[in-house]
Every structure is written in structure tokens, then in C-alpha cells.
Amino acid sequence: MNNPTINEFDKADFQGVYEGKTLISSAEITAVPWDIGRPQPVVQDILEKGQKNRLLDVGCGLGLNAKQANDLGYQVTAIDSASKAIEHCLNVHQKTGIQFQLANACDTGLNEKFDIILDSAVYHSIPSSDRSAYMKEMRRLANDDAEFHLITFAPSQHGMPKPLAIELSEIIQLAEINDWAIQSVERVTYKGNAGAISDFQKKKNLNILTDENGLTCLPSWHVILKVKI
């Protein structure tokens, strides 16, 4: 039976885009939109300020955030559900101590706890019907004093369209249900590859701004969650 609540973003083909296929069917997105050739600036800020403990990078993609964390002294486990992404990370970052693993963020199979959980543009990549399971699984993997950094697209006239852009009320509701307390919320910018989404921008009539390096500036939430004790 068809689920009427499933949208085109819920069906995004992450494995496909790492193989040069289109990420979604309504537009040509055949280059990796989050490949900016360096760690996300907003993630870099978080990593520089954090306690250098055990870190889980969920949906690590090409592994540049995980590599940055490793270089800064974190003990890093990085997971992704796209085998192509993990293959890439194992090849490119093989000389690091990072534990890369193929795993679904909603049911990782991991049996360890983390002090920092990093979600860099993954929450909105998970189908909406699976997001509560995701928050629950991250809660299971969190130490009592862990920080869960969740960076996800926010609604904005210069941002991604809904439902890819997430209402803060949704995150607050799922946090509450899954025993997370919101510590802070701020608006940040997630950078992306402008060329990769040019057809998407045209077809969806978007007005996304770029920075001096030609990278897209995507308005996002940075929510810090703490375990509710």
C-alpha cells in the first residue's frame, strides 16, 4: 500500500548520488551537494570548542568532518548507510584511527556510548516516519552527559523548501518523546556545492544565496540536545 505521507525527499537515493546518479527524481542532482572539499565550517566550530572525547559522526558522508574531529584529538566512530560513502572513507581516510562503519542511524547495532554525537545535515535526510526511531537510537548511544549536535535545514526564504526544511517544533516534539532535553537552538549556515543543485534550484524556484567562494549558504538549525535524566 502507498503511504500518502511519503515525499520525494524521503526517497532520496544517497547511494545513487555517490555513484553519479541523481539524488532525487524531480531534478538532476548528480554531483554530491554536500561535497565542499573541506569540513563544514559550522562543524569545525563545534569540534574546536568541544571536549575531545568519544565522538559519533552519524551520516558521515565523505568523511571530512570525521577526519577533522580525528585531527583535533577526538576518538571517532563514523557511520553511513550508503556503502559507497563508507568505501570512499575507508580508502581516503585509511591512515587515521577513525572507525568507519556501514550502519543505519535508526538501528546502528553499535554497542558503545559516546560523549558527542554529530549530525551534520542528516536529520532531514532521514524519512520523517523514521525520525523518532533515529532520536531514540541516538539516545541509546549517548553517555549521561553527552551532547547531541543536530544541524538540519531550517525554513527560510533563502533556504531549502519544506518539507526538506524542518520546523523546529518537530525536533522539539521528537526530542521530548525520546528523552532528550533541548539545551540551545541557534540559526547557522550549512555550506553546499552550488553547481550540484543548480537544476534543483531552477525547478523549485529557490532563492539560495552563495558566499564569496561560490558555496551555497543554507539556513539551518543547530540544536544541542542533552540526555534527560
Ligand X SMILES: C[S@@+](CC[C@H](N)C(=O)[O-])C[C@H]1O[C@@H](n2cnc3c(N)ncnc32)[C@H](O)[C@@H]1O
d(CA 172, CA 174): 6
Closest to ligand X by CB, 148 vs 228, is 148
Piece of 116-124, 156-164, 173-181, 198-206 that binds ligand X (CB under 6 A): 116-124
All three cell numbers of 196: 550540484
Residue 209: Cβ within 10 Å count = 14
Residue 95: Cβ within 10 Å count = 6
Query: Could you tell me how many residues of this chain bind ligand X (CB under 6 A)?
Result: 20
All three cell numbers of 164: 526538506
The single-letter DSSP state of residue 123 is G
Sketch the per residue contact string, 38 through 77, with ligand X: x for CB under 6 A, - otherwise: --x------------------xxx---x------------
Q: Which of 23, 55, 85, 208 binds ligand X (CB under 6 A)?
A: 85
Q: Please report whether residue 216 would count as binding ligand X according to CB under 6 A.
A: no
Q: Please report whether residue 34 would count as binding ligand X according to CB under 6 A.
A: yes
What three-state secondary structure class fits 140? helix
**CB contact at 8 A, 190 and 42:** yes
Residues contributing to the site for ligand X (CB under 6 A): 14, 34, 40, 59-61, 65, 79-82, 85, 104-106, 120-122, 125-126
